[in-house]
Amino acid sequence: MNLDQIHYFLAIVETESFTQAAEKLLLSQPSLSSAIKKLERELGVILFDRGGRRTTLTPAGEVFLTKARQILEDYEQALYQLRDFHKQPTLRLGILSTLSIASVAGLIRCFRQEHPDIILELRSSHADDLDRCLAEKEIDLAITALNETDNTETSLTLFNQHFLLGVPSIHPFAQREIINLNELDNQPYIQRINCEFWRADPLIYESAGVYPNMIYRADCEEWVIALIQAGFGMSVMPEWKNLSNVVYVDIEEMNLERTVGLKWNSKHNLNVVSLFCDLAAQQDWQLALANGFQEVPLKDNS
């Protein structure tokens, strides 16, 4: 038995047809049938019921289906675990695009100082796409927004953030502690197009009868911050510490917050992921991130 036979078997299960599976695999149907017959001889069982309009699994085939999927999963896992033996270790890190890079730059910098041999590949995207990348093993670890359904065995909380209205320091709103949602009507507004709340409810303002003047749309938090600092508009956004020329104002009708943390795939048993998580889990880093600091001093291990 070889991996090609496993792939052939699973293709037939998926398509319920030798003909369609052969087309998908770019094989001739006789070649595919011959390979499956050889597999059945090796196993000593009949895997498929070929008598009906659809090709279905026999009871023995149902048992083998579970084993076949496990074989492929174990093989892929072995490839990931062994990849660091063939090249310089690499950590593929996904970062939520609605995060200020400065908020996690110190953590990344500290990791590089402690592990200079590990290459960091950074990828920025919205939360849903980062979840997809983890599931499809396109990244190893994500710094992203966590939700109540995330498993504590595959996630680590870093810090919590409230969402407030960020306004330029020269705007009249900057002199107030709180405003009403309807006061955003026709105000110059910068839309954070990858915002978790905006993506979940794109009509959040319209449903309240509020129509801000959308003058900019940005997919990166750094752009949003820079535009507010330049006085071009305002935005409902996470509260970032120590920003110049940005004042945060509470909105009476809104009480939004998010939890930011690490998330990884339980099937990725990679040493580089464990090293990064161990660093982030240290108490001094937890406090630093929660208070908005960018870095903590490296410990002297001498």
85 pLDDT exceeds 70? no
Across 185-196, b (16+ Cβ under 10 Å) vs e yields: eebbbbbbbbbb
Would you state the pLDDT for residue 300?
Answer: 47
Cα–Cα dist 265/142, whole Å:
9
How do residues 129-187 score in pLDDT, each as one tens digit?
A: 999 999 888 999 999 999 888 888 899 998 888 999 999 999 999 999 999 999 999 99
Q: Which domain holds residue 100?
A: 85-159+259-290
| 3-state secondary structure at position 132 | helix
pLDDT at 301: 44
Cα–Cα distance for residue pair 32/12, rounded to 1 Å: 9
DSSP type of residue 234 = B
Contacts of 88 (CB under 8 A, 6+ apart): 117, 118, 119
Q: What is the pLDDT of residue 90?
A: 87
Which tens digit of pLDDT belongs to each residue from 59-68? 999 999 999 9
Average pLDDT, the chain: 86
Distance linking the first and last C-alpha atoms of the chain: 54
How many whole angstroms separate alpha carbon 33 and alpha carbon 192? 54
Residues 6+ apart with CB under 8 A from 10: 65, 68, 69, 72
| Percent residues over pLDDT 70 in the chain | 89
Q: What is the mean pLDDT of residues 111-128?
A: 90
Contacts of 3 (CB under 8 A, 6+ apart): 71, 72, 75
Q: Is 246 found in the same domain as 224?
A: yes
Asked, for residue 301, whether it belongs to a domain, the answer is no
Q: Is pLDDT of 20 > 70?
A: yes
Which candidate, 54, 52, 45, places its Cα nearest to that of 12?
A: 54
DSSP states along 20-78: HHHHHHT--HHHHHHHHHHHHHHHTS--EE-SSSS-EE-HHHHHHHHHHHHHHHHHHHH
Single residue among 84, 110, 133 that ends a domain in this structure: 84
Beta-bridged to residue 125, according to DSSP, are: 96
Q: Mean pLDDT, to the nearest integer, of 200-205?
A: 74
pLDDT at 17 over 80: yes
What is the rounded distance in angstroms from the CA atom of residue 29 to the CA atom of residue 50?
A: 14
- My answer on whether 229 and 183 are in the same domain is yes
Most confident segment among 162-166, 209-213, 262-266: 162-166
Kindly indicate the confidence band of residue 287, based on its pLDDT and cuts at 50, 70 and 90.
Answer: low
Question: What's the domain count of the chain?
Answer: 3
Q: Is the pLDDT of residue 254 over 60?
A: yes
CA gap 168, 245 in Å, rounded: 6
We report the CATH number of the domain holding residue 203 as 3.40.190.290
Whether 86 shows a pLDDT value over 50: the answer reads yes
The CATH number of whichever domain residue 65 belongs to comes to 1.10.10.10
| Residue 253 reports pLDDT greater than 80 | yes
Q: In degrees rounded to 5, what are phi and psi of residue 59?
A: -55, -40
Asked whether residue 45 carries a pLDDT value surpassing 70, the answer given is yes
User: Tell me: the pLDDT tens digits for 91-106?
Assistant: 999 999 998 888 888 8
Last residue of a domain, one of 31, 53, 84: 84
Which CATH number goes with the domain that contains 146? Answer: 3.40.190.10
